[in-house]
């Protein structure tokens, strides 16, 4: 591409000056996918879930985060039940051990929860990190809340916080090229290990 640009610049009237003008207003940021200082957890396979998920939750009766606590911990993949919030495995995980912290109340926004709920969710996030370190030795974490459909929330109607364990090299070509994520254990086995780890640290 450089050769053709130079050929154009040398043979086309004004080409060299146009090239210089372009260079003056062009930064050195490269195309998406070129390595830079950011670590990205590419999960294109989740887009179908994000797009379809909103229509599946009409009210509290159809909300999986409201239904979860009504079933057994094993059936719902619940790790811990607190007073105002609980910890559950993500059914569509970014990585093994991807946890969600949910208030029991069916509220959509972080500003909707009480001070007590806020404090317990924060404490559960800290405990979740300790348990994950104890059980599976991650070297990093992503924590966050996707607010609203445009914010990327898979289920925007019920607030939930993500706790995603990270390991060096966990973002490989599988999810990027093959749209496949390798999860080396069943969700049931992961739940058993994390629930046991939670009890140990209690």
pLDDT tens digit string along 47-95? 555 555 556 677 788 899 999 999 999 999 999 999 999 999 998 888 8
Distances (CA, A) of 24 to 6, 19, 21, 28: 16, 9, 5, 11
Rounded distance between C-alpha atoms, residue 102 and residue 85, angstroms: 5
Residue with token string 């317990």: 120
> What is the pTM for the complete model shown?
0.69
| 160 tagged catalytic | yes
Find the catalytic residue in 80, 98, 158, 160.
160
pLDDT tens digit string along 18-60? 666 656 655 555 544 555 454 555 555 555 555 555 566 777 8
| Residue from 160, 182, 161 nearest 96 by CA | 182
- The domains of the chain are located at 1-38, 40-201
Domain 40-201 classification at class level:
alpha beta
| Residue from 111, 107, 118 nearest 83 by CA | 118
């Amino acid at each position: 591409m450089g050769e053709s640009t130079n050929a154009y610049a040398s043979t086309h009237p004004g080409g060299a000056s146009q090239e210089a003008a372009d260079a003056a207003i062009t930064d050195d940021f490269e195309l998406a996918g070129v390595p830079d200082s950011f670590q990205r957890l590419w999960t294109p396979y989740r887009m179908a879930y994000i797009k379809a998920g909103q229509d599946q939750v009409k009210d509290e009766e159809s909300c999986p985060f409201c239904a979860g606590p009504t079933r057994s911990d094993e059936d719902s993949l619940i790790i811990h039940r607190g007073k105002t919030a609980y910890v559950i495995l993500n059914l569509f995980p970014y990585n093994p051990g991807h946890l969600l912290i949910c208030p029991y109340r069916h509220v959509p926004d972080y500003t909707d929860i009480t001070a007590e709920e806020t404090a317990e969710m924060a404490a559960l996030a800290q405990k979740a990190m300790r348990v994950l370190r104890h059980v599976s030795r991650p070297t990093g974490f992503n924590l966050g809340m996707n607010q609203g459909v445009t914010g990327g929330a898979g289920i925007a109607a019920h607030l939930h916080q993500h706790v995603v364990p990270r390991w060096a090299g966990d973002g490989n070509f599988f999810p990027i090229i093959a749209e496949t994520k390798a999860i080396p254990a069943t969700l049931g086995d992961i739940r058993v290990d994390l629930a046991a780890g939670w009890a140990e640290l209690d």
